[in-house]
Structure 1
Amino acid sequence: MAAPAIPRSPIPSSSPLQRLSTFKDRTTTTATPTSAAGTITSPPSSIPFSSSPLDSLSSDPIFSVFFSSDFDSARFSSAALSSGSAASRAEKLQDGIRLLEKQLRSEVLSRHDDLLSQLSSLRDAESAVSALRSAVTTLQSSVRRVRSEIADPNRQIRSKTLQLSNLHRTTELLQFTIRVLRQSKKFRDVMAAGESEPEKLDLAKAAQLHCEILSLCNENELAGIAVIDEELNWVFEAGQKLRSEGMRVLERGLEGLNQAEVGAGLQVFYNLGDLRATVDGLISKYKSQGVKSVSVALDMKAISAWSGGGYGPGGIQRSGTPQIGSGGKAKEALWQRMSTCMDQLHSIVVAVWHLQRVLSKKRDPFTHMLLLDEIMQEGDPMLTDRVWEALVKSFASQMKSAFTASSFVKEIFTVGYPKLYSMIENLLERISRDTDVKGVLPAITLEGKDQMVSAIEIFQIAFLALCLSRLSDLVNTVFPVSSRGNVPSKEHISRIISRIQEEIEAVQPNGRLTVLVLREISKVLLLLAERAEYQISTGPEARQITGPATPAQLKNFALCQHLQEIHMRISSMMTGLPIIISDILSPSLGAMYGVACDSVTSLFQAMLDRLESCILQIHEQNFSGLGMDAAMDNNSSPYMEELQKCILHFRSEFLSRLLPSSTNTLSAGTENICTRLVTSMASRVLIFFIRHASLVRPLSESGKLRMARDMAELELAVGQNLFPVEQLGPPYRALRAFRPIIFLETSQLGSSSLLQDLPLSVILHHLYSRGPEELQSPMQRNKLTPLQYSLWLDSQGEDQIWKGIKATLDDYAAKVRVRGDKEFSPVYPLMLRLGSALSEKTVLQKS
């Protein structure tokens, strides 16, 4: 049966293409459009063929505009008419319409069965909707009937529920009111007991009852009930009385440092719920008291008025400066006020620490909560830190203001800074001592102490500058820069020493101030050494030793003695001080010691060179003489006589001025610059003599006697005119040992105990004088003069000297072997044995 034909309906001009776009995907499966008769029809030639008509239309420049959502037919028509091809354009549009109609017909035919099934479903849905509409109408009727039946019971239930709620609320209010009245009765009884006998008033219990009454009223909103309002008026009044009594107990406990009273007062405010506010109030109060005490202490107007210097000429009030004649009283008043201020600050800090201590120990007996946790959160500063910070800040500000605004205060605190510092130190020491309890944090930390000391640092700087200025001015007076020829007198030096001693004694009780002052004194001593060094005379005149002392030498002697006196006196002042403190002056004292040495070192070096040149003449003497005449000759050797004359001349012309008292200055207990130089020169003379005496060869028996006599003469000359030889130590023992050594037989010499007092090089050199001529000494082998060889010995150690001696021994052994001899000189094996022992000892020391 043929499908009924679907009548054509006109297509609206604004939407056919848009509706057709929904079939775009489906038309892709359709082949070419067909007619009603089933014949294949081809599209119009004006529209390009495509797999889908919609694709061809969308790509066509004319039809593509119809896909736009804002298409305007009037605008399109106007464009077509203006283009001059309206007829062709209309024809093309008709072709497009025909193409679309064919496409629509094709779509309808291809989906004919689906359309019929959809139409049947619509009829079934319409029937179901009609049945549902009837059921809904029936349900609405039932709901209206039920609503009318339950409305009245619902109203009754609401009314009864509200009535029940009001009854419950009224019952609760009555219960809480009765409870409040009972607590109020207990509160009245406790307060009444305290009125008759105040000492029996239990403040903690009363505070607890007061807090409970207010908590019940606030939590249950009892305000507005007449009986409650009457009771609350009395409760508030009693609460004020409790706070007053609690604060009185708390302040009394803090003033007397009574832990029980402080704990009782804190418990009252904890029970009242005002602990944090109360503690904050106390801290603020103590801060204010501390700041006020500092301000009062430095109020120069009040000090001037108190000392009778409040008004100047003409009645004009002065600002911080007392009148002429009243400065002493004002100074005394200022120190008195500072002392009072320190006492007040001590009391404040200790009281706050005591409060903090009790808070950190006491717990509520019911909740077991630590009271300190009630007023502090994690990370909050401690109470003592808060108060101390405020006090230090105020103190530093007031001190800075006084320094800049009042010349009187500046002068008093600058000159009297040791006293001011002692006050601060005593304050810190008292606070530390009074708050030193095991297991409890101290009131102030080390950092807090440093902050308080730093508050007066401005006066410390001024004090040290004043100290340096006083001493520097004194040095400039004694050693003026413009004058180089004047040497200060002993009185001038005594004034410098006395002034330094006064500066040290002024701060000596305080270690920190002593360190600071010693640093300034060190600068002054360096300045003194610099000025003295500028005064030292140099040149040939200062180094001459043949004639009497020249004015330049006398000047250097005076400078040396002055610097030596200062060095000795300052060093003696340091004996009672710790080594760490006294070491501060070590560099400056060392510089002064060096300058003092420089003033006479060149003279002593010239003396020593002269004495050494005399000793070197020993090599020009004949110690190989034989016969009784040489042995019985009691006269001194010419070089020794010249040496004695030089030593005597040095003593009379130079050393007597540097060492005026031989009995005192040359004693063993005295050590100063000149005695050290003389000691060094005397030791060098003995060692130098022994060295060159050992180099003498040949040495006959009579020559030994003559050398022993020279040694005795040398010992006497050095002991009487330079330094007691018994106190020279190893050089003297070497001299005493060398004298018998030269008389020992070679076979006895190796085992003699005297060898331990002599350098090995001296013994080996002496043994050359006992050997054959072909056994040459290093001096002979290298063809050196005694002076050249002596200089080489000064620059070498014993091990290096032995290497030079060993080379000569090897040469001697080679000569003996070449000659064919079978025996060596007795000194050869002895020298080898002594040198080998030295080598072994050196190796052990290095290992």
Structure 2
Amino acid sequence: MASPAATLQRSQLPSITIPASPSHSSSSSPLHRLSTFKTPSSSTPPPPSSTTTNPSSSPLDSLAKDPILSSFLSSSFSSTSFSSAALSSGSPASTAEHLHHAIRLLESQLRSEVLSRHSHLLHQLSSLKDAELSLSTLRSAVSSLQYSVRRVRSELSDPHNSIQPKTIQLSNLHRTIQALQHTTRTLRSSKKLRDLISASESEPEKLDLAKAAQLHREILTMCDEFDLREIDVVDEELSWVKETGEKLRSEAMKVLERGMEGLNQAEVGTGLQVFYNLGELKVTVEQLVNKYRGMGVKSVGLALDMKAISTSGGGGFGPGGIRGSGTPQIGGGAKAREGLWQRMGNCIDRLHSIVVAIWHLQRVLSKKRDPFTHVLLLDEIIKDGDPMLTDRVWEALVKAFASQMKSAFTASSFVKEIFTMGYPKLLSLIENLLERISRDTDVKGVLPAITLEGKEQMAAAIDIFQTSFLALCLSRLSDLVNSVFPVSSRGSVPSKEQVSRILSRIQEEVEAVQLDGHLTLLVLREIGKVLLLLAERTEYQISAGHEARQVTGPATAAQVKNFALCQHLQEIHTRISSMIAGMPFIAADVLSPSLGAIYGVARDSVTPLFKTMIDRLETCILQIHDHNFGAHGMDAAMDNNASPYMEDLQKCILHFRTEFLSRLLPSARATIAGTETICTQLVRSMASRVLIFFIRHASLVRPLSESGKLRMARDMAELELTVGQSLFPVEQLGPPYRALRAFRPLIFLETSQLGGSPLLQDLPPSVVLHHLYTRGPDELESPLQRNRLTPLQYSLWLDSQGEDQIWKGIKATLDDYAAKVRSRGDKEFSPVYPLMHQLGSSLTENAAVSQKH
């Protein structure tokens, strides 16, 4: 090692550039020898040259540009190649002369360079002598340092050789003491464990399993940590400790499983604490979860094991057993069916007990903490992001159940048929399972065993049978409808028994699923499809044309057929509506479109007939304008006979009642009970239209004498009696009937009494205003007269207008009357004029307010 002094001397040495040796120069070309000269270091500037030449005229530059000599500057120069090229050029003598000239030039340049740098070279020589002196001084210092190192090594080796064996002896002694201490501690713990086991031999139930497990783990931990296993006394104890550990695990597992089956939190907590003390909590819990999960999956598989079902049914594989395809042989269907449902029930019970047991285990884990470390046991099992124990088990059970159901559906026609036809029972089993699990695991502050998503997954596992069940339901009902209403036959009308059979079948389908609300809605949707099919087939059977609309003669065969179809549809509509009356509103919403279609087809089957009859009755009422109600005299007033138009009206109503309504309304029970049928509603509408139409045209009669008023009052009484006896009870018609009853006394009131009469409240404003024209002068023309319209034309216009528009037309006639009076120069108007203005404004305002409310 160099001393600091030597290092310092070395750092002070001047930099030396050693020139090339003569031998090297002689072995190289002149150009290479020239290139070995180095530029002096910047620390020692070269002396100024007296022969400095311009770089542009340097011989080296001229040589570098020479085509022959430039190759000597290349790093890849080869003398053999150059000589071969010179000889083959054809002028080797010239090339040699050229080279001799270049050599002389280089020698001259070299001599010039040496002379110009003579002082610098002498300086470099003195620096070499100084370096040799420094190196000799450094060599002496290095020798001194080496001597000192040898002396220190000699002084340290003796103590080290003396201390090293003592250190090893001390280390061995220390390890021995530690081994003795840990062995003593281990043996002491083993003795405690033996005493604990011995004390409980007479009463095993009093054994403190948790403490014994803790001692067991301490013994094994010390043996592993301090490597005590090769000590004879320890090895003798370890064999017993391991046997004791197996017993502890066995006893703890018994306590744990007993607690899970009996839902005993204390026993489950004791078992978990033992395995926690043993350091095997996570592994043990995983084994338990896997065990229960496997039990559930196995239970699902056994539930649909057709071979086992056949064996339990006593059929084996002989007569009455199950074939390989899953189809029961003759005589074994009932037993196999019972066996299948029994096994499904047992499977559901087993799944319930497994899920509740795992939930109970999870519940105790989430509550129990180690008494010493206060660690929550659940945190030792489940880390952040890991699924809960119940979720793992439930996911496996649902997956296995769904797989088995799908396999049974495709592989066994017998299972498919049983679970399809008995789907409500299968769904009931699943929902009962979910409800029981939810009820038994509903504890405040504890997560339930299964989530809503988990319930939906289990219900979805049997969706394949639900689809098949709904398709079977639709098929049964559709086949029944197709048999009652065949497409090929249009003229046939189903009997009441056939319609009743359809309704009974629908009732049975609903009753089979009424315990499950969701399934009921699904079945109702299928029933809705059947009702639409029924409406479509019935609509195809309905007869149209003149024969279905005629009202002058007896009922035709086409009308009788339409009546029967209407009654059948009415019966279906009534029965289905009453069936869903006690169900939630959503049930009515599901069947509302279908019932609407049934109702529409039933109404359309007889609506043309009623429309034709209303047109005929209106034609009879329009004849009121052909009768002279302006005649004076007692003869006209004392005539007890009805007016000719009224007699025609009575005959038409009586004929309609006898020929048509008697078939559509065979009895008055529906009306008495307060439940109107489709035909009853149509009859009510007809009766209301007749009364309103009569009052309208009675108010247009002009002139109207006192005897004419009596005649009109008598006609109104006849109308009321005829409508009430042959069409509909007039007391139940409401506003039309009150209008008829109010109009009769109104025509006898004095004009001055009309303004404040309460009768106006029951009459449409247009009726009152039209009647007032009969009390005015002839020049006060009604809209009918002013526009030169027929009563029918004006009546059609009134049907299309509201009371406000009618008042505008009436007001225009009042303005015309006022203009005529003013044109004559008269200043007084008829008393009717201001009264009509007053009543028109007030009555139309009241009518508008009542319509808003």
Structure 2 match to 1:16: 32
How many angstroms does 1:112 deviate by? 4.9
How many angstroms does 1:631 deviate by? 2.1
| SS at structure 2 position matched to 1:789 | helix
| SS at structure 2 position matched to 1:152 | helix
Aligned partner of 1:734 among 728, 731, 739: 739
Q: Are the structure 2 counterparts of residues 669 and 274 from structure 1 closer, same or farther at C-alpha, using a change threshold of 3 Å?
A: same
1:705 equivalent to 2:705? Answer no
Structure 1 match to 2:314: 308
Whether the 8 Å contact between 2:325 and 2:413 is mirrored in structure 1 is no
| AA matched with 2:301 | S
How many angstroms does 1:231 deviate by? 1.1
Whole-Å Cα distance in 1 between the matches of residues 826 and 87 of structure 2? 154
How many angstroms does 1:805 deviate by? 2.2
Structure 2 match to 1:460: 466
Q: Are the structure 2 counterparts of residues 762 and 110 from structure 1 closer, same or farther at C-alpha, using a change threshold of 3 Å?
A: farther
Aligned partner of 1:643 among 633, 645, 649: 649
Structure 2 match to 1:548: 554
| SS at structure 1 position matched to 2:672 | coil
Aligned partner of 2:225 among 209, 216, 219: 219
| AA matched with 2:563 | F
Whole-Å Cα distance in 1 between the matches of residues 101 and 782 of structure 2? 144
| AA matched with 1:696 | V
Q: Are the structure 2 counterparts of residues 350 and 326 from structure 1 closer, same or farther at C-alpha, using a change threshold of 3 Å?
A: same
Moved more, 120-129 or 371-380: 120-129
1:779 equivalent to 2:781? Answer no
Whether the 8 Å contact between 1:58 and 1:64 is mirrored in structure 2 is yes
CA deviations on 1:121-143 (whole Å, 9 max, x unpaired) are: 33222211110101101111121
How many angstroms does 1:88 deviate by? 3.9
Aligned partner of 2:239 among 233, 236, 246: 233
Structure 1 match to 2:722: 717
1:170 equivalent to 2:176? Answer yes
How many angstroms does 1:388 deviate by? 0.9
| AA matched with 2:28 | P
Moved more, 834-843 or 435-444: 834-843
Whole-Å Cα distance in 2 between the matches of residues 783 and 465 of structure 1? 66
| AA matched with 2:497 | E
Whole-Å Cα distance in 1 between the matches of residues 682 and 72 of structure 2? 126
CA deviations on 1:688-727 (whole Å, 9 max, x unpaired) are: 1122222222222222222222111111111111111111
Structure 2 match to 1:604: 610
How many angstroms does 1:836 deviate by? 3.2
1:80 equivalent to 2:86? Answer yes
Give the superposed CA RMSD.
Answer: 2.8
| AA matched with 2:347 | C
How many angstroms does 1:302 deviate by? 1.7
Whole-Å Cα distance in 2 between the matches of residues 779 and 113 of structure 1? 150
Structure 1 match to 2:11: none
Whole-Å Cα distance in 1 between the matches of residues 852 and 106 of structure 2? 120
Kindly, what percent of the aligned residue pairs are identical? 75
Whole-Å Cα distance in 1 between the matches of residues 38 and 780 of structure 2? 136
Aligned partner of 1:682 among 682, 687, 707: 687
Structure 1 match to 2:811: 806
Whether the 8 Å contact between 2:252 and 2:271 is mirrored in structure 1 is yes
Moved more, 296-305 or 769-778: 769-778
Moved more, 813-822 or 133-142: 813-822
Whether the 8 Å contact between 1:262 and 1:358 is mirrored in structure 2 is yes
Whether the 8 Å contact between 1:384 and 1:444 is mirrored in structure 2 is yes
Structure 2 match to 1:526: 532
How many angstroms does 1:7 deviate by? 13
Q: Are the structure 2 counterparts of residues 161 and 555 from structure 1 closer, same or farther at C-alpha, using a change threshold of 3 Å?
A: same
Q: Where does 1:757-776 land on structure 2 (aligned, <5 Å)?
A: 757-776=762-781
Moved more, 827-836 or 457-466: 827-836
Moved more, 104-113 or 216-225: 104-113
| SS at structure 2 position matched to 1:429 | helix
TM-score scaled to structure 1, two decimals? 0.93
Q: Are the structure 2 counterparts of residues 61 and 362 from structure 1 closer, same or farther at C-alpha, using a change threshold of 3 Å?
A: farther
How many angstroms does 1:102 deviate by? 5.1
Q: Which runs of 5+ in 2 are unaligned?
A: 1-19
Whole-Å Cα distance in 2 between the matches of residues 839 and 122 of structure 1? 139
Whether the 8 Å contact between 2:322 and 2:332 is mirrored in structure 1 is no
TM-score scaled to structure 2, two decimals? 0.92
- What count of residue pairs does the alignment treat as equivalent? 828
| AA matched with 1:734 | A
CA deviations on 1:762-809 (whole Å, 9 max, x unpaired) are: 222222222222222222222222222222222222222222222222
| AA matched with 1:810 | D
Q: Are the structure 2 counterparts of residues 718 and 842 from structure 1 closer, same or farther at C-alpha, using a change threshold of 3 Å?
A: closer
How many angstroms does 1:629 deviate by? 2.0
| AA matched with 2:738 | R
Whole-Å Cα distance in 2 between the matches of residues 17 and 469 of structure 1? 115
| AA matched with 2:265 | Q
Q: Where does 1:285-434 land on structure 2 (aligned, <5 Å)?
A: 285-312=291-318, 320-434=326-440
Structure 1 match to 2:3: none
CA deviations on 1:242-280 (whole Å, 9 max, x unpaired) are: 001100110111111011111111111111111111111
How many angstroms does 1:14 deviate by? 8.0
Structure 2 match to 1:580: 586
How many angstroms does 1:667 deviate by? 2.3
How many angstroms does 1:194 deviate by? 1.9
Whole-Å Cα distance in 1 between the matches of residues 621 and 414 of structure 2? 72
| SS at structure 1 position matched to 2:581 | helix
Whether the 8 Å contact between 1:799 and 1:838 is mirrored in structure 2 is no
Whether the 8 Å contact between 1:34 and 1:106 is mirrored in structure 2 is no
Whether the 8 Å contact between 1:304 and 1:320 is mirrored in structure 2 is no
Aligned partner of 1:512 among 510, 515, 518: 518
| SS at structure 2 position matched to 1:83 | coil
Q: Are the structure 2 counterparts of residues 843 and 500 from structure 1 closer, same or farther at C-alpha, using a change threshold of 3 Å?
A: closer
Structure 1 match to 2:838: 833
Moved more, 439-448 or 120-129: 120-129
How many angstroms does 1:70 deviate by? 2.0
Structure 1 match to 2:12: none
How many angstroms does 1:111 deviate by? 5.0
| AA matched with 1:76 | F
Q: Are the structure 2 counterparts of residues 316 and 683 from structure 1 closer, same or farther at C-alpha, using a change threshold of 3 Å?
A: closer
Q: Are the structure 2 counterparts of residues 790 and 123 from structure 1 closer, same or farther at C-alpha, using a change threshold of 3 Å?
A: farther
Structure 2 match to 1:46: none
Whether the 8 Å contact between 1:310 and 1:317 is mirrored in structure 2 is no
CA deviations on 1:649-671 (whole Å, 9 max, x unpaired) are: 11010001000113x13326121
How many angstroms does 1:394 deviate by? 1.3
1:437 equivalent to 2:453? Answer no
Whether the 8 Å contact between 2:782 and 2:810 is mirrored in structure 1 is yes
CA deviations on 1:277-309 (whole Å, 9 max, x unpaired) are: 111111111111111211222111122122222
Q: Are the structure 2 counterparts of residues 669 and 137 from structure 1 closer, same or farther at C-alpha, using a change threshold of 3 Å?
A: same
Structure 2 match to 1:3: none
1:244 equivalent to 2:260? Answer no
Moved more, 409-418 or 232-241: 409-418
Whole-Å Cα distance in 2 between the matches of residues 56 and 379 of structure 1? 85
Whole-Å Cα distance in 1 between the matches of residues 496 and 367 of structure 2? 68
How many angstroms does 1:114 deviate by? 4.5
Whole-Å Cα distance in 2 between the matches of residues 781 and 448 of structure 1? 80
Q: Are the structure 2 counterparts of residues 492 and 18 from structure 1 closer, same or farther at C-alpha, using a change threshold of 3 Å?
A: farther
Structure 1 match to 2:8: none
| AA matched with 1:344 | R
How many angstroms does 1:557 deviate by? 0.4
Whether the 8 Å contact between 1:626 and 1:702 is mirrored in structure 2 is yes
CA deviations on 1:373-405 (whole Å, 9 max, x unpaired) are: 101111111111111111111111222222222
Whole-Å Cα distance in 2 between the matches of residues 837 and 531 of structure 1? 53
How many angstroms does 1:206 deviate by? 0.8
How many angstroms does 1:323 deviate by? 3.2
| SS at structure 2 position matched to 1:576 | coil
Whole-Å Cα distance in 2 between the matches of residues 18 and 832 of structure 1? 141
